[in-house]
């Protein structure tokens, strides 16, 4: 999956004694690897200024002859700079980096003579303090980070359950997760990915619960990433997926910390990324995309009912329109005698064959949805009304479509919205189109071809090496109570079979522990 070129690069980057190459305007991280030697104030300022492409907000502040502070204006907290650094430095007479570090009343102060370290700290929001004739630079981290406050998750809202979602700040997100799981076994490994973005990525898992093998796989996949930039965890998920050719995602994106932690507890691996409000949970089975955390929070009878409702809605959503098309085009025999009169009457003046009629209506629904989701909320509602009522009734009056198909199409659109996961809901909607076309060409034969293709495709997929269709195939009896249905908690094993550590008899025994115990 990842080619050898990247591995070579990694080797290079671990080599600290890399010589500085010809200075060019564009620096890569490895090119900055060098140790500073003693420089004068001007030399040091010019060096740094050159390396960070002399931005307009680059500030050089001379406290006195001996001490110079360099920082980027928009990244630091001015209050902290004034109160904690400048006032302290002014009172120091014989400054050495060691002394400054001791004197500064800040939590995060480092001393470094590595050029790459100080450059990245500078553009990460630190103030660099240069003292006369010293190679060591004091790095005072006073970055100001603007992030929105925690709010309720909007895309995965639920009635019962925690009403807090992740935000874009990795630190806040990790603290949220740590509030849920106070176990010392919670491992948090940090990675920095992206040549230009240098995005922090946290790999979270419960030691002893998560499969060592799967953690290694994920770690290796993240380490061998070679990208210039990484903006959202959805991109990261696609980059480290088992297969990128399929429409089906093999990693769950969630903005709910409770869902995320639930995954960690059952032995899954979580990945959080700075700048993204979505956490990645893997390995995940196909069925789990249709689970909502709310099923767990309700009583098991209601949870089971909701899940069954959702699964039947998905099947209806994918197959209702194709069945209409196939039955009306080829298989009039299967239509019940009570339905045949209203069906044929509603289609009597429609000039198109059922397949065109169905595609036309499905397209309208998709247009409405897309228009509604791109527009501001207030306008979006108007679009819904205009589209739904005006186009719907007008199309029937004009004789372009039949009444009954409008009901089917609206029903299947409605059913597709029951999928709690937005990514999967999109796929469910997308799946309908090829099946409608196949149904229009070959009738039920076409639908069966589509079903077989889909089934084989799903069977071949895996999420982090774990079978995608489990626990249905391969049949995992232990996981069945929490799949299509949801049985009482005492029947649900804590750890999914997909995340078990190995085939060791004793570990399997441990996995059988029930939540109630």
Contact residues for another protein, defined by CB under 8 A: 328-330, 332-333, 335, 337, 340-341, 343-350, 353-354, 441-443, 445, 449
Query: Are 409 and 362 spatial neighbours (Cβ–Cβ below 8 Å)?
Result: yes
The smaller minimum CB distance to another protein, of residues 129 and 461, is found at: 461
Minimal distance in Å, beta carbon 460 to another protein? 13
Minimal distance in Å, beta carbon 453 to another protein? 11
The smaller minimum CB distance to another protein, of residues 290 and 330, is found at: 330
Query: Are 41 and 13 spatial neighbours (Cβ–Cβ below 8 Å)?
Result: no
Task: List the Cα angle 114/108/132 in 5-degree steps.
Answer: 50
Question: Quick count: other Cβ atoms within 10 Å of Cβ 386?
Answer: 12
Task: Kindly report the three-state secondary structure assignment for every residue of 225-276.
Answer: CCCCCCCCHHHHHHHCCCCCCCCCCCCEEECCHHHHHHHHHCCCEEEEECCC
Minimal distance in Å, beta carbon 234 to another protein? 29
Minimal distance in Å, beta carbon 331 to another protein? 8
The smaller minimum CB distance to another protein, of residues 55 and 399, is found at: 399
Query: Are 462 and 468 spatial neighbours (Cβ–Cβ below 8 Å)?
Result: yes
The smaller minimum CB distance to another protein, of residues 303 and 443, is found at: 443
The smaller minimum CB distance to another protein, of residues 445 and 515, is found at: 445
Minimal distance in Å, beta carbon 319 to another protein? 19
Minimal distance in Å, beta carbon 226 to another protein? 25
By CB atoms closer than 10 A (0-12, 13-18, 19+), residue 11 is exposed
Helix (H) or strand (E) holding 316: helix 300-329
The smaller minimum CB distance to another protein, of residues 315 and 334, is found at: 334
Minimal distance in Å, beta carbon 352 to another protein? 10
- Give the C-alpha separation, 139 to 147, whole Å: 23
Minimal distance in Å, beta carbon 332 to another protein? 5
**Hey, what are 334's tokens?**
């299967």
Minimal distance in Å, beta carbon 443 to another protein? 6
Alpha-carbon distance values, 320 to 68, 137, 327, 360 (Å) = 72, 68, 11, 15
The smaller minimum CB distance to another protein, of residues 184 and 351, is found at: 351
What residue spans of 330-376 are helical by DSSP H?
A: 337-347, 354-374
Query: Are 114 and 35 spatial neighbours (Cβ–Cβ below 8 Å)?
Result: yes
Strand partners, 111: 138
Question: Quick count: other Cβ atoms within 10 Å of Cβ 281?
Answer: 25
Minimal distance in Å, beta carbon 401 to another protein? 13
The smaller minimum CB distance to another protein, of residues 179 and 331, is found at: 331
Strand partners, 206: 186
> 399 by DSSP, 3-state: which?
coil
By CB atoms closer than 10 A (0-12, 13-18, 19+), residue 233 is buried
The smaller minimum CB distance to another protein, of residues 118 and 439, is found at: 439
CA dihedral 174, 175, 180, 182 (to 10 degrees): 100
Minimal distance in Å, beta carbon 356 to another protein? 11
The smaller minimum CB distance to another protein, of residues 86 and 449, is found at: 449
| Alpha carbon 374 to chain centroid, angstroms | 20
Minimal distance in Å, beta carbon 13 to another protein? 34
The smaller minimum CB distance to another protein, of residues 156 and 357, is found at: 357
- Give the C-alpha separation, 68 to 405, whole Å: 75
The smaller minimum CB distance to another protein, of residues 204 and 320, is found at: 320
Complete DSSP assignment for 5-57: HHHHHHHHHH-TTPPP----S---TGGG--B-----HHHHHHHHHHHTT--TT
């Amino acid at each position: 999956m990842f080619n050898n070129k990247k591995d070579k690069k990694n080797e290079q980057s671990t080599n600290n004694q890399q010589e500085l190459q010809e200075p060019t305007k564009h620096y890569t991280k490895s090119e900055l690897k060098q140790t500073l030697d003693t420089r004068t104030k001007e030399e040091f300022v010019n060096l740094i200024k050159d390396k960070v492409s002399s931005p307009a907000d680059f500030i050089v502040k001379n406290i006195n002859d001996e001490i110079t502070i360099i920082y980027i204006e928009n990244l630091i907290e001015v209050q902290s700079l004034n109160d904690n650094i400048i006032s302290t430095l002014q009172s120091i007479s014989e400054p050495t980096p060691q002394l400054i570090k001791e004197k500064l009343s800040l939590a995060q102060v480092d001393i470094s003579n590595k050029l790459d370290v100080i450059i990245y700290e500078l553009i990460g929001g630190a103030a660099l303090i240069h003292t006369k004739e010293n190679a060591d630079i004091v790095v005072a981290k006073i970055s100001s980070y603007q992030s929105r406050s925690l709010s309720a998750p909007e895309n995965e809202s639920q009635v019962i359950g925690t009403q807090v979602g992740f935000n874009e700040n990795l630190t806040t997100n990790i603290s949220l997760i740590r509030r849920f799981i106070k176990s010392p076994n919670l491992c948090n490994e940090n990675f920095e990915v992206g040549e230009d973005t240098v995005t922090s990525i946290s790999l979270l898992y419960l030691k002893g619960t998560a499969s060592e093998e799967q953690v290694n796989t994920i770690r290796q996949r993240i380490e061998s990433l070679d990208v210039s930039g990484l903006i959202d965890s959805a991109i990261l998920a696609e980059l480290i997926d088992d297969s990128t050719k399929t429409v089906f995602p093999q990693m769950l994106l969630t903005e709910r910390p409770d869902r995320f932690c639930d995954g960690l507890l059952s032995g899954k691996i979580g990945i959080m990324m700075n700048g993204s409000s979505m956490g990645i949970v893997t390995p995940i089975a196909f069925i789990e995309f249709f689970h909502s955390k709310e099923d767990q929070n309700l009583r098991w009878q209601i949870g089971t009912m909701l899940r069954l409702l959702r699964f039947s809605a998905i099947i209806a959503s994918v197959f209702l329109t194709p069945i209409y098309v196939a039955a009306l085009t080829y298989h009039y025999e299967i239509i019940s005698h009570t339905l045949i009169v209203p069906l044929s009457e509603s289609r009597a003046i429609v000039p198109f064959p059922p397949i065109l009629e169905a595609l036309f209506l499905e397209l309208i629904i998709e247009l409405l949805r897309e228009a509604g989701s791109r527009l501001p909320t207030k306008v979006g509602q108007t679009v819904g009304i205009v589209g739904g009522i005006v186009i719907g009734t007008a199309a029937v009056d004009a004789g372009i479509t039949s009444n009954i198909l409008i009901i089917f199409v609206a029903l299947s659109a409605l059913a597709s919205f029951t999928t709690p996961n937005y990514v999967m809901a999109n796929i469910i909607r997308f799946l309908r189109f090829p099946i409608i076309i196949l149904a229009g060409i070959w009738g039920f034969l076409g639908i069966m071809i589509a079903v077989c293709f889909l089934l084989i495709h799903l069977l071949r997929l895996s999420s982090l090496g774990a079978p995608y269709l489990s626990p249905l195939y391969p049949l995992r009896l232990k996981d069945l109570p929490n799949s299509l249905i949801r049985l009482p908690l005492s029947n649900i094993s804590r750890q999914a079979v997909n995340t078990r550590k190995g085939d060791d008899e004793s570990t399997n025994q441990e996995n059988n522990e029930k939540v109630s115990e």
